[in-house]
Every structure is written in C-alpha cells, then in structure tokens.
Amino acid sequence: MASTVIGANITIEGEVIADEDVVVQGTIRGKLSAKEGVTVESGAVVEADVSGGPMTVAGQVTGNVTSTDRVELQSGARVVGNVKAARITIADGAHFKGNVDMDV
Amino acid sequence: MATATIIGRDTRVHARVSGAGDIEVQGHLEGELTVGGEARIESTATVAADVRARRIVVRGAVKGDLSADESILLEDGARVVGDVRAPRVAIAPGGLVRGYVETQAAGAKPASRAVTPARRVDGVRAVPPAPKSKPAVVHVAAKHAAPKGRGITLAGGKAPPPVVPVLKKGTKAALTKRR
C-alpha cells in the first residue's frame, strides 16, 4: 500500500491532498486532507486543519481535526482545535483543548 | 540516516517543501522543493516546482529548474522542462530535457573550466579572487556562445554521444531538422 511520509526534517508550507495514508513526522503548515488514515507521530508539528479517515495523534496538532472514522489522541499528544469524528479516544497524558463533536 | 520522506503517488502537494534529509516524489508536487539530501523524482511523479538538493535523480516529469550541489542524474523516462545546473550532470539514454544545462555551476567546488574564465575577468580589473557568485556572471555571459550539448557526460564518464540532444530553449525547430 502506497503511502505518503513527511519525514522528521521536512517542512511543508501549503496544502497536502492525499488519496492514501499519510504519516507525519515533520512539520506541516497549511492544510492536510487524506482519504485514508493520518498518523501524526511523536515529534511532528501540524499547524493545519486536518481531515481524513482514521487518525492517530502522538505529536502536536494546532487546527481543526475532522475524521470520517476514529480519532485517537495518544499519550504525549498536544492538540489545540476542534475535533469532529465518529469516535474519539483520548489517552491518559494527552493534552487537548477544543470542542469535541461526535455522532451522539 | 535521515528519515525518508515520500510524497506518495496518490498525493498532491501544493506547497513549499523544505528541510534536511531525502525526499522521494511519486505523486504531484507544485510549488518549491528544497532539501539538504537527495531528491528523487520517480516515474509516476509530476513536479511543477524548482528543485534544489544535494543530489537530484529524475525518472519522471519536472517543469522547473533543477539545481544540485553535487549531481543531477536524469534517468530513462525523465522529462525535464527547465534549466539544469550541478557540478555533475548526467543524462541517461531516454532522458529528455528542454532547457539550459550547465555543469560546474556556480557555488560548486572550483574546477578548471569554471575558474579559468573567471580569473581572466578578474585579472583585467585587478580584483581579488571572486566570491563564489562571481563565476555565475561569467557563465551567463558565456552561455550563448557555448555549443549545444557541451559539458554533458553520460553516467560513468564514458563518452558515447548522448542519445537525446540537449536543447537550449527555443531550438526545437533545429532538433526537428536534424532528425
């Protein structure tokens, strides 16, 4: 399965549109939209609105997060922004500031 | 080893991409690409951006200028519209280029061909050794006089004539005639 990886030393300022998985280890400023899963790894910095399928966040996200599936904020994640998803899990030790919107 | 960055084949990026490390583009990139390591433009890639890196390997389509600190390798399948500058430039059979190609580009380690004309200019004015940017001026002035295909070597340094002639901008007609 092909996927896109933004490595740890890379900065992207602009828009990333993927029809596949995206793994972020570096920095994205702008907009990130994926059709498949999005993984923001520990050490990654995302200053962007993020949309996509299942999301796993262990790094830092500033922006609104929208997922068609689940959002998982792992321990060590720092998220500032609104999260809209079908399911959301926030692990003990994750920092989060924003609104949560789930299908209730 | 730096982490590999991959722009997958189903991904479109409209952005300025920069940083250390290597990058591999399989998808679409529009904007600007600057990396400290190697930039690989794969056969499925379409890149509309100026590309700067230590090394550049192209197998796909690029519209924009390529400049590398070490080398640029245009492999079979490469389609480049733009200028190509690096100390070493190799165009493999099947690589297509339309643009100005310059080896030993400014900013590179001094080599005899690049330095000689620069010294001549400096000697007339009795100026101390030129800063690194100075040879660039000389090159630009000399580029119109340079014969087509000059300075191009195939990978490995052997010299079978390039299968694909390197064109300067606006010489498409000349190519057609020759063929």
- As a whole-number percent, the residues of chain A with pLDDT over 70 amount to 98
Instruction: Tell me, yes or no, if A26 comes closer than 8 A to chain B by beta carbon.
Output: yes
Mean pLDDT of B148-176: 49
pLDDT at position A30 = 96
Residue B138 binned pLDDT confidence (cut-offs 50, 70, 90): very low
Name the more confident of B130 and A51: A51
Under an 8 A CB cutoff, do A5 and B3 touch? yes
pLDDT at position B177 = 54
Q: Where are the beta strands (DSSP E) in chain A?
A: 3-6, 10-18, 21-24, 27-34, 38-40, 45-52, 55-57, 60-62, 65-67, 70-73, 78-80, 83-85, 87-90, 95-97, 100-102
pLDDT digits (tens, 9 = 90+) for B30-40: 999 999 999 99
pLDDT at position A39 = 96
Q: Do A85 and A66 form a contact (C-beta atoms < 8 A)?
A: yes
Instruction: Tell me, yes or no, if A101 comes closer than 8 A to chain B by beta carbon.
Output: no
The two most distant CA atoms of chain B are separated, in Å, by 57
Alpha-carbon dihedral A56, A60, A65, A71, rounded to 10 degrees: 20
pLDDT at position B123 = 35
Under an 8 A CB cutoff, do A8 and B16 touch? no
Residue B92 binned pLDDT confidence (cut-offs 50, 70, 90): very high
Q: Do A55 and A40 form a contact (C-beta atoms < 8 A)?
A: yes
pLDDT at position B4 = 84
Q: Are strands B11-19 and A60-62 parallel, antiparallel or unpaired?
A: unpaired
Mean pLDDT, chain B, integer: 73
Name the more confident of A74 and B161: A74
- Of the candidates B2, B27, B31, which has its C-beta nearest A7's C-beta? B2
Q: Which of B94-108, B141-155, B159-173 has the lowest mean pLDDT?
A: B141-155
Q: What letters, b where the CB count within 10 A reaches 16 and e where it falls short, cover A8-37?
A: bbbbbbbbbbbbbbbbbbbbbbbbbbbbbb
Q: Which of A79-88, B82-91, B135-144 has the lowest mean pLDDT?
A: B135-144
Instruction: Tell me, yes or no, if A99 comes closer than 8 A to chain B by beta carbon.
Output: no
B-chain residues within 8 Å CB-CB of A12? Answer: 13, 15-17
In 3-state terms, what secondary structure has residue B142? helix
pLDDT digits (tens, 9 = 90+) for A91-100: 999 999 999 9
Under an 8 A CB cutoff, do B15 and A15 touch? yes
**Radius of gyration (C-alpha) of chain B in whole angstroms:** 17
Residues 6+ apart with CB under 8 A from A92: A75
Q: Do A39 and A22 form a contact (C-beta atoms < 8 A)?
A: yes
pLDDT digits (tens, 9 = 90+) for B46-66: 999 999 999 999 999 999 999
Global pTM exceeds 0.80 = no
Name the more confident of B143 and B164: B164
Mean pLDDT of B116-130: 38
Which residue in A has a C-alpha nearest to residue B20's C-alpha? A9
pLDDT at position A103 = 80
Residue A67 binned pLDDT confidence (cut-offs 50, 70, 90): very high
Sequential DSSP letters for B63-125 = ES-EEEEEEEEE-TT-EEES-EEESEEEE-TT-EEES-EEES-TTSPP-HHHHHHHHHHHHHH
pLDDT at position B171 = 53
Distance in angstroms (rounded) separating the CA atoms of residues B139 and B135: 6
| pLDDT score of B107 more than 60 | no
Closest CA to B64 of B29, B40, B22, B38: B29
Q: Which of A17-31, A35-49, B142-156 has the lowest mean pLDDT?
A: B142-156
Nearest CA distance, B40 vs chain A (angstrom): 14
A-chain residues within 8 Å CB-CB of B45? Answer: none
Interface test with B, best of A6, A10, A16, A33 (most B CBs within 10 A): A10
Nearest CA distance, B15 vs chain A (angstrom): 4
